[in-house]
Amino acid sequence: MEKTMCDVVLECINDVIKETLKLFLEQDETKKLSVADLAFFDLMNRLTAKKGDSIFDSSPTMKKHSEKITSIAGVQKWLEKRPVTDM
């Protein structure tokens, strides 16, 4: 039952993120990194740490966007030096 509930919650989060990404990407003519991009990346990073890359199975767009943010030099640098936490 708990696994089913987790799957339902993850699917809802995926749906919300898909729609949110459309709004931000369609209006971002300069294609600069935004706070929304970082918030999305943080959420996806935390979820993949717990659930693995399978969270992207139903949304290649979300995976591509997460990879794009990960490829930014400043983000890579932070990922290498950030403290390890349980959260």
State how many domains the chain has.
Answer: 1
> Can you give the residue range of the structural domain that contains 71?
2-81
Where residue 9 falls among pLDDT bands split at 50, 70, 90? confident
**What are the backbone dihedrals phi and psi of residue 58, each rounded to the nearest 5 degrees, phi first?**
-90, 0
**Who contacts 79 (Cβ-Cβ below 8 Å, separation ≥6)?**
70
87 within domain boundaries: no
pTM: 0.57
**20 within 8 A of 62, measured Cβ to Cβ:** no
6 within domain boundaries: yes
pLDDT digits (tens, 9 = 90+) for 22-38: 766 665 566 678 888 88
74 within domain boundaries: yes
What average pLDDT does the segment 63-79 reach? 88
What average pLDDT does the segment 47-56 reach? 84
- pLDDT for 26: 60
- pLDDT for 47: 84
- DSSP tag of 31: -
65 within domain boundaries: yes
What average pLDDT does the segment 49-65 reach? 84
56 within domain boundaries: yes
